[in-house]
Amino acid sequence: MLLLATTGHAGTAPAHSPDAGWAPLIERLAADGFSREHVESLFARLGKSYSSAPMGHKIRAMYNRKFAPPKAAASSRSKASKTPPIYPGVLVPANLKRARTFLERYHYSLARMEKRFGVPREIAVGLMLVETRLGSYLGKEHAFLNLASLAASDSLDKLRPELAGLKLTAKRKTWACKRIESKSSWAYAELKALITYCDSNELDPVSMPGSIYGAVGICQFMPSNILRFGVDGNGDGKVNLFHVQDAVHSLANYLKFHGWKSGLPRTSQNKVLRHYNNSRTYANTILAVADALR
């Protein structure tokens, strides 16, 4: 079933030329083998000029975490708590009702996934509930635009307006330059993966919703992970993570690759789920939802 209607193929002719700020990125993509005409068409259809804001937001947040004064030690009472922390607002009756309805509606697809990959259906549903509320919230950003913005923000000079007010000593400036280079290179690889994925599956990257850092679909995969772990779960010859069948098979393939198997103890289940998002609270929440659904 298609939960999100995607537009036509990304080769639609542009109504105007791309913003000049995208020119270096277009040149880089063309040099790496992408059709210049195709890439120019994608950027022209964005209808937006280059902005360093996404990278500035990321680097500023990293800077504050890195150089903020240390927090006061947690109280002994909170340290002694034996209740695993979970995200607030997830394990509520309305969400659990939606999840049980989802389990019933997609019983056949979930059963096939479970048999093929060994991942319990309750875990798969719990993961998608946490990620996108089972497809009802797919991100308010556009994956292509954000990844392109991050990829194009490849130097400190481009980010100076975004980082105004930070005390960039010589050492901190070196730190910032390394982080900017690393994040830009990562985003460029993900942007290439997104274009490749969409071209191969007749999807439109420009209109595709996603997270602020480019994760897409009901299961919120980064594009490079779609190329590695994406599965055609409904047998239509394509991988579309906005289809429930493809999403559940793909996330199960990912979890199996990272160590999920029958009989895993709770601590090991938590460890595998943290490959998806390295947060103990994230993994605890999925496991808590799965427990409630059994």
What is the per-residue pLDDT for 75?
52
What is the per-residue pLDDT for 83?
76
Average confidence (pLDDT) over 164-177: 95
pLDDT tens for 53-77 read 999 999 999 999 999 887 765 554 4
What is the per-residue pLDDT for 4?
44
Quick one: what percent of the chain has pLDDT higher than 90?
A: 86
Average confidence (pLDDT) over 256-275: 97
Q: Which residues of 31-54 are buried (b: 16+ CB within 10 A; e: fewer)?
A: eeebeeeebbbbbbbbeeebbbeb
Q: Give dist(CA 117, CA 219) in Å, integer.
A: 16
Domain ranges of the chain: 11-50, 51-67+88-293
Task: Say how many Å lie between the first and final Cα of the chain, rounded.
Answer: 25
> C-alpha angle 225/250/238, rounded to 5°?
90
What is the per-residue pLDDT for 258?
98
Average confidence (pLDDT) over 86-109: 97
Average confidence (pLDDT) over 247-259: 98
What is the per-residue pLDDT for 8?
41
- The answer to whether 287 touches 273, Cβ cutoff 8 Å, is yes
Token couple for 149: 């913005």
The 10 Å Cβ neighbour count of residue 251 is: 29
Report phi then psi at 240, rounded to 5.
-130, 105
Q: Give dist(CA 78, CA 123) in Å, integer.
A: 28
81 vs 52, higher pLDDT = 52
Q: Is the dihedral of CA 53, 59, 60, 62 positive or negative?
A: positive
